[in-house]
Amino acid sequence: MGSVTGRGGKSQEPICTRKADGPAQAYWQALLTGDRGTVAEILSDPQNNLSPNAVFDTSDLEEWKNYRFNLRRLRLWSLSYEQELTTPLHITASRGYADCLRLLLLRGAAVDFAPGGKTALHEACAAPSTECVRLLLSFGADPEAVSEDGYKPLHLCKSPDSIECVQQLLQHGASVNSRTEEEDDTALHIAARHGLTDHVQLLLRYGAELEAKNEEGQTPLNAACAQPHQPQDMDRYYRVCQLLVESGASINAADRDRQHPLHLACKNANAQVAELLLARGANVNVMNYSGNTALHNILQATAYKLEHHPELVVRALLNYGAIRIWPGSLLKVLRYCHVCPRVIEALMNSYDHVRISEDWVEAVPAEVVQKYPRFYQSLFSLEQRPRSLQHLARCALRTFLEGRLLLVLSQLHLPSALHRFLLLSFEDVLY
């Protein structure tokens, strides 16, 4: 057996290094399965020499999560050897075994013991297990304990199911604006990044700072907009951004790369978030450090975000006055975005005239043309004919109302079909 020293420098329980037999094996397996009766029996027998504060070194365990007991072989220590230490308290807290956890605590387990660099409370929050969090806090666990990686328990509440853990931590004195040591994130950054609406709402109620900036210069709103997410999660991220914006978050806060929330939302092709920011006055044409506007970002992401409907973002930006792509660059855009013809449609319908050539035909693969024949035939035919009079009238009106299009249209009682037409509704064909 070796020994481990706690944070206070005092010698703690020995590290279990014995072979996979006897009471140690039974203790380990009982902890992993939450067998309270066996744990109690083992701890009650003084001959076992096992306590609630036993420290297990799991660095050489194979398939330990599947309950195979194979404690590390005795071997020579080397500079490359890294211990992975855990305790009965950590094992039960991480698995939500509240009955076993209570037994260990009543038998004298040290509630803030952290031989592996984090406390049992960290484990319970990461699990998450509300019952275990509540139990540990009732036994005096420190809600502000810092792990070896620089995280407090509040920073590990990253899933929807951890909302009650957050509530318990805050009620027991956890600092709502504490930071992670490396990323300099607050809990609000983390909740926003994971699209956790209830967490954001709760943290704001407890006074979370809206404009706190992390190591990357991101506010929580930036963090929410920057996080890539699947189409099914777009509503969640919209609700998070809506909460932050309605609470007063700056919509034009720039990070270290001068990326604004709108840049980031467009990179992730979230049309709901983009429209939310635009409606609140986000600068549609501001450039980031690389010289890109929000329109550049969505066009660069289009081919990779088809399920997110990037055409909705492009249309919104154009309707809010985005500076259009230089006509000479439209061929390049076609090469990158041909898999989403509605993006091309929105762009083309923002010009009264675009010079089409044979290069445009060559820019679109034959299989894409076969998939969208009506649209691409109408596009290529513009080489020989002008746009329709109806389209030209639309362009003239949009040009006249540039910068105030949505404001003016909202005050006019136009037929819905005409209103949609002026705002570049999709028809999947060019006239």
The two tokens of residue 132 are: 């275990």
Mean pLDDT of the chain: 91
- Could you read off the pLDDT of 184-198 as tens digits, one per residue? 999 999 999 999 999
- Show the 3-state SS of the chain: CEEEECCCCCEEEEEECCCCCHHHHHHHHHHHHCCHHHHHHHHHCHHHCCCCCCEEECCCCCCHHHCCCCCCCCCCCCCCCCCCEECHHHHHHHHCCHHHHHHHHHCCCCCCCCCCCCCHHHHHHHCCCHHHHHHHHHCCCCCCCCCCCCCCHHHHCCCHHHHHHHHHHHHCCCCCCCCCCCCCCCHHHHHHHCCCHHHHHHHHHCCCCCCCCCCCCCCHHHHHHHCCCCHHHHHHHHHHHHHHHHCCCCCCCCCCCCCCHHHHHHHCCCHHHHHHHHHCCCCCCCCCCCCCCHHHHHHHHHHHCHHHCHHHHHHHHHHCCCCCCCHHHHHHHHHHHCCCHHHHHHHHCCCCCCCCCHHHHHHCCHHHHHHCHHHHHHHHHHHCCCCCHHHHHHHHHHHHCCCCHHHHHHHCCCCHHHHHHHCCCCCCCCC
Going from N- to C-terminal start, the domains of the chain cover 1-143, 338-431
- Could you read off the pLDDT of 333-371 as tens digits, one per residue? 999 999 999 999 999 999 999 999 999 999 999 999 999
The pLDDT score that the predictor gives to residue 25 is: 87
Question: For residue 335, which of 306, 368, 308 has the smallest C-alpha distance?
Answer: 368
Question: For residue 135, which of 101, 86, 163 has the smallest C-alpha distance?
Answer: 101
Q: b/e map of 280-305 (b: 16 or more CB within 10 Å)?
A: eebebebebeeebbbbbbbbbbbeeb
- Could you read off the pLDDT of 264-323 as tens digits, one per residue? 999 999 999 999 999 999 999 999 999 999 999 999 999 999 999 999 999 999 999 999
Per the listing, tokens 């009106």 go with 397
CATH 3.40.50.2300 for domain 1-143, yes or no, is no
The two tokens of residue 31 are: 């902890």
Residues in the chain, pLDDT under 70: 1-21, 60-83
The pLDDT score that the predictor gives to residue 68 is: 37
Report the distance separating Cα 108 and Cα 267, nearest Å: 52
β-sheet with 55-57: strand ranges across: 2-5, 11-16, 55-57, 85-86
The pLDDT score that the predictor gives to residue 73 is: 34
The pLDDT score that the predictor gives to residue 16 is: 58
Q: Kindly calculate the radius of gyration of the chain based on its CA atoms and give it in whole angstroms.
A: 30
Question: For residue 67, which of 42, 101, 32 has the smallest C-alpha distance?
Answer: 32
The two tokens of residue 185 are: 């994130």
Q: Do residues 100 and 39 lie in contact, with contact meaning Cβ atoms separated by under 8 Å? A: yes
For the full predicted model, state whether its pTM sits above 0.95.
no
In angstroms, how far apart are the furthest CA atoms of the chain?
A: 96
**Which residues lie below 8 Å from residue 55, measured CB to CB, with a gap of 6+?**
4, 12, 13, 14, 15, 16, 85, 86, 87, 115
